[in-house]
Chains A and B, each alone.
Chain A
Amino acid sequence: EPEVTQTPSHQVTQMGQEVILRCVPISNHLYFYWYRQILGQKVEFLVSFYNNEISEKSEIFDDQFSVERPDGSNFTLKIRSTKLEDSAMYFCASRELAGVTDTQYFGPGTRLTVL
């Protein structure tokens, strides 16, 4: 069964460094998302992406964050200058169909630790 994959599974970085988290969505999906979950807290929406542009973003998704679909398969989240509070599990998700009732399929997550 097709699934969303994410790399790396765990990323450790120093505060102020740039990180790029990578995702390969399910191949025929058209809508892509990033969410994050700080340890012990709720899963929070960061950004949605369709047709090579951001469709919606949350207050968390400030100028330090950016997303890109550099080729036909990858979807990346870049954090330009990491802060301690960026430490979290980052989930990528993808969805196939148009409309607001279709299921989002999540990847296994990348655990980001900022020291």
Chain B
Amino acid sequence: SQQGEEDPQALSIQEGENATMNCSYKTSINNLQWYRQNSGRGLVHLILIRSNEREKHSGRLRVTLDTSKKSSSLLITASRAADTASYFCATSYNTDKLIFGTGTRLQVFP
């Protein structure tokens, strides 16, 4: 079955630094999405990248996808304290069921 695994599990940085989170999965995908979850709250959609795309940008977010390595990365540039949250990748393949990864807990210190 598809399975997303993020690394690192936890990441602590200072405001202004860049944060990079990685996601690996096991099977084919149609697309990969990144979501953010503030502590105990709902999931906020950040960005979707399709399997035929290699890179996508949205504001301070940059997502890459390497289907040959079955991996994706999420880069947050010039991080802010408000970026503190858990970040999850989620994949789907020939179904709209999302398979979520284990998540990376990001802590940004002011």
Residues on A close to B: CB < 8 A? 31, 33, 35, 42-45, 48, 56, 58, 89, 91, 93, 95, 100-109, 111
Contact of B92 with A106 in the complex, beta carbons under 8 Å: no
Question: Which A residues are CB-close (under 8 A) to B93?
Answer: 100
Question: Which A residues are CB-close (under 8 A) to B92?
Answer: 100
- Of A100, A107, A111, the contact of B95 (CB 8 Å cutoff): A100
Q: Contacts A44-B100, A93-B43 known; list 19 others, CB within 8 Å.
A: A31-B96, A42-B100, A42-B101, A42-B103, A43-B88, A45-B99, A56-B95, A56-B96, A56-B97, A58-B97, A100-B31, A100-B96, A101-B30, A102-B96, A103-B33, A104-B96, A105-B45, A108-B41, A108-B42
Question: Which B residues are CB-close (under 8 A) to A42?
Answer: 100-103
In this complex, how many residues of chain B approach chain A with their Cβ under 8 Å: the count is 26
* Chain A interface, >50% SS class: strand
